[in-house]
């Protein structure tokens, strides 16, 4: 792990980054930060409302800028699923943290997400969740220092795997 002791969780929407991130921070006695919440605080509205009003590209610029500004020590950082689209932000995170990809199968993501139209998922018009999954998987793998197979695993099992790997 890097000298700052930070851990970043990446993965698809509904992969458990925020939920597991809070639990992991507790288990490891670290702080917790959720970049989606930082972005929403800067916007003053929900991710979906901002995207509806300003468009996908404006949201992605704001997310990129926000993730690039993250500074912390001994933190678990949950990112938005779309953070991997910003090379600069991901390289920044890689310089301050150990990056863990929570790899959840597409079928499980679909079950967890349900209707993603109100969830704030960063997705181009006309794209399906299948398309999004296929587009993002290589990006998650590109930036990951550790890939955790989350298929059919309870949250505690995923946390145990992460702790063992660290």
Q: Is residue 163 part of a domain?
A: no
Q: Is residue 62 part of a domain?
A: yes
Q: Is residue 51 part of a domain?
A: yes
pLDDT in tens, 60-108: 999 999 999 999 999 999 998 889 999 999 999 999 999 999 999 999 9
pLDDT at position 81 is 85
| DSSP calls for 100-111 | EEEE--HHHHHH
Containing domain of residue 84, as a range? Answer: 6-158
Nearest Cα neighbor of 21 from 30, 13, 12, 154 is 30
Answer yes or no: are the C-beta atoms of 101 and 11 closer than 8 Å: yes
Can you tell me the mean pLDDT for 122-137?
Answer: 88
Q: Is residue 108 part of a domain?
A: yes
Answer yes or no: are the C-beta atoms of 21 and 35 closer than 8 Å: no
In this structure, what are the phi and psi dihedrals at residue 44, rounded to the nearest 5 degrees?
Answer: 75, 15
In this structure, what are the phi and psi dihedrals at residue 99, rounded to the nearest 5 degrees?
Answer: -100, 125
pLDDT at position 47 is 81
Instruction: Please count the structural domains in the chain.
Output: 1
Q: How many other CB atoms are there within 10 angstroms of residue 143's CB atom? A: 18
Answer yes or no: are the C-beta atoms of 18 and 86 closer than 8 Å: no
In this structure, what are the phi and psi dihedrals at residue 74, rounded to the nearest 5 degrees?
Answer: 55, 50
Q: Is residue 165 part of a domain?
A: no
- Is the pLDDT at 1 greater than 60? The verdict is no
pLDDT in tens, 8-65: 999 999 899 999 999 999 999 999 999 999 998 998 888 888 888 898 889 899 999 9
The CATH number that applies at residue 106 is 3.40.50.300
Tokens 């600069």 label which residue? 88
Q: Is residue 113 part of a domain?
A: yes
* CA dist 41 → 8, 38, 112 (Å): 20, 5, 25
Q: Is residue 78 part of a domain?
A: yes
Q: Is residue 145 part of a domain?
A: yes
């Amino acid at each position: 792990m890097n000298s700052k002791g930070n851990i970043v969780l990446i993965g698809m929407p509904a992969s458990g980054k925020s939920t597991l991130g809070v639990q992991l921070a507790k288990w490891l006695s670290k702080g917790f930060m959720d970049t989606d919440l930082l972005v929403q605080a800067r916007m003053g509205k929900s991710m979906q409302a901002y995207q509806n009003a300003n468009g996908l590209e404006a949201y992605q610029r704001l997310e990129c800028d926000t993730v690039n500004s993250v500074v912390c020590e001994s933190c678990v950082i949950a990112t938005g699923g779309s953070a991997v689209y910003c090379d600069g932000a991901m390289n920044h995170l890689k310089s301050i943290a150990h990056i863990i990809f929570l790899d959840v199968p597409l079928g499980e993501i679909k079950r967890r997400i349900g209707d993603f139209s109100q969830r704030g998922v960063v997705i181009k018009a006309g794209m399906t969740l299948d398309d999004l999954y296929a587009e993002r998987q290589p990006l998650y793998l590109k930036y990951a220092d550790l890939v955790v197979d989350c298929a059919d695993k309870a949250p505690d099992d995923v946390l145990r795997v992460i702790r063992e790997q660290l």
